[in-house]
């Protein structure tokens, strides 16, 4: 049976259409995969902003923040964290002068509260208490705050404008104990250093600082009812050029991962 030209053209058209449909389906499938794969990286980048962060932190956080910062960089590839440690009052002065930084962590709420125009809402990340640090072997047998009033004992304290100095004055005044320090230091690490080096017989420092020098000093506990609680607030700076990354770091400090670093170092839960 012979086919007419019309019949042959119709058959050819049906065959071409049949071949075209799978090709279109393949293109559609390939385009979908490309779209999905290209969307994923951009989504990941938005969740974990990368930046070089500068964190101003109280001197008493020196050891624990160095360890925590290394962990943060490890789990947040592309982000670098640089710390600047000093007394909280010195850090506050830097913020007021417009020093380029992203995050501030102080050893008291009073200093942070004085910077409300410069910081975003702070979060308490840890707490601390004071101890009496004495020289190796505790030669003067100091076991009470009252022993610091002994004129034979060379006592060093932090300056009253420093958080630990303010806490020291608070607890000594509450017990009506008069101490004449041989020097007043700019931060808690300077107080600890004086005792470590034998330039002072005793000093009031945070419990966590004394723990970093346990081979060189003896830490004498102060009863809770005679002690002071230091709260550590953290906040991103309003002037930060890395706002999202700064907020992410502050939020991370309250995570179980960061809290383990702090509590292992002797800090109390917020």
For 36-80, the pLDDT digits (tens) are 333 333 333 345 588 999 999 999 999 999 999 999 999 999 999
Give me the chain's average pLDDT, please: 87
CA dist 250 and 115 (Å) reads 17
> Once rounded to an integer, what is the mean pLDDT over residues 80-87?
97
Would you state the structure tokens that stand for residue 130, as one six-digit string?
Answer: 């004071």
Q: Where is pLDDT greater, at 264 or 43?
A: 264
CA dist 89 and 161 (Å) reads 7
| CA 257 to the chain's CA centroid | 12
| CA 162 to the chain's CA centroid | 19
Which single residue is written with the structure tokens 């005044």?
A: 173
Would you state the structure tokens that stand for residue 131, as one six-digit string?
Answer: 């101890």
Q: What is the dihedral of CA 136, 142, 144, 145, to 10 degrees?
A: -80
| pLDDT for 209 beyond 70 | yes
Query: Rounded to whole angstroms, what are the CA distances from 165 to 17, 64, 89, 171?
Result: 86, 21, 11, 10
87 close to 57: Cβ distance less than 8 angstroms = no
pLDDT tens track for 105-137: 999 999 999 999 999 999 999 999 999 999 999
The rounded percent of the chain whose pLDDT value lies above 70 is: 82
pLDDT number for residue 48? 56
> Once rounded to an integer, what is the mean pLDDT over residues 247-268?
98
Would you state the structure tokens that stand for residue 61, as one six-digit string?
Answer: 């956080």
pLDDT tens track for 238-251: 999 999 999 999 99
* Helix orientation angle between 62-75 and 256-264, rounded to the nearest 10 degrees: 150
- The SS3 of residue 253 is coil
**CA nearest neighbour of 67 among 215, 220, 260, 207:** 260
| pLDDT for 163 beyond 50 | yes
Identify the H or E element spanning 155.
strand 155-158
Query: Rounded to whole angstroms, what are the CA distances from 255 to 118, 125, 162, 233, 259?
Result: 25, 9, 28, 15, 6
Identify the band that residue 30 occupies on the pLDDT scale cut at 50, 70 and 90: very low
Cβ neighbors of 72 (< 8 A, separation 6 or more) are 79, 81, 249, 252, 258
267 close to 253: Cβ distance less than 8 angstroms = no
CA dist 145 and 192 (Å) reads 17
Identify the band that residue 24 occupies on the pLDDT scale cut at 50, 70 and 90: very low
The rounded percent of the chain whose pLDDT value lies above 90 is: 81
Ordered domains of the chain (ranges, CATH):
52-127+231-264 (3.40.190.10), 129-226 (3.40.190.10)
| SS percent in the chain: helix, strand, coil, step 5 | 45, 20, 30
Which single residue is written with the structure tokens 């009252």?
A: 146
CB burial of 24-50 (b: ≥16 within 10 Å; e: otherwise) equals: eeeeeeeeeeeeeeeeeeeeeeeeebe
Q: Where is pLDDT greater, at 230 or 6?
A: 230
pLDDT number for residue 49? 81
> Once rounded to an integer, what is the mean pLDDT over residues 232-239?
98
Question: What is the value of pTM for the model shown?
Answer: 0.81
């Amino acid at each position: 049976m012979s086919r007419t030209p019309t019949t042959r053209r119709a058959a050819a058209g049906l065959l071409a259409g049949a071949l075209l449909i799978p090709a279109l389906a393949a293109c559609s499938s390939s385009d979908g995969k490309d779209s999905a794969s290209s969307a994923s990286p951009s989504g990941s980048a938005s969740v974990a902003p990368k930046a070089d962060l500068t964190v101003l932190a109280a001197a008493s956080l020196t050891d624990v923040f160095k360890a925590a910062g290394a962990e943060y960089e490890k789990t947040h590839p592309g982000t670098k964290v640089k710390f600047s440690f000093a007394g909280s009052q010195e850090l506050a002065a830097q913020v007021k002068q417009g020093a380029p930084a992203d995050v501030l962590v102080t050893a008291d709420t009073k200093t942070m509260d004085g910077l409300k125009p410069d910081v975003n809402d702070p979060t308490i990340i840890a707490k601390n208490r004071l101890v009496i640090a004495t020289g190796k072997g505790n030669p003067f047998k100091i076991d009470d705050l009252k022993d610091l009033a002994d004129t034979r004992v060379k006592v060093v304290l932090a300056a009253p404008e420093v958080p630990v100095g303010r806490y020291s004055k608070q607890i000594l005044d509450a017990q009506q104990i008069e101490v004449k320090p041989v020097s007043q230091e700019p931060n808690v690490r300077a107080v600890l250093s004086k005792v470590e080096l034998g330039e002072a017989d005793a000093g009031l420092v945070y419990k966590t600082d004394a723990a970093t020098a346990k081979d060189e000093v003896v830490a004498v506990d102060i009863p809770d009812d005679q002690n002071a609680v230091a709260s550590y607030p953290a906040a991103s700076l309003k002037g930060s050029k890395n706002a999202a990354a700064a907020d992410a770091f502050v939020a991370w400090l309250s995570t179980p991962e960061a809290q383990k670093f702090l509590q292992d170092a002797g800090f109390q839960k917020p």
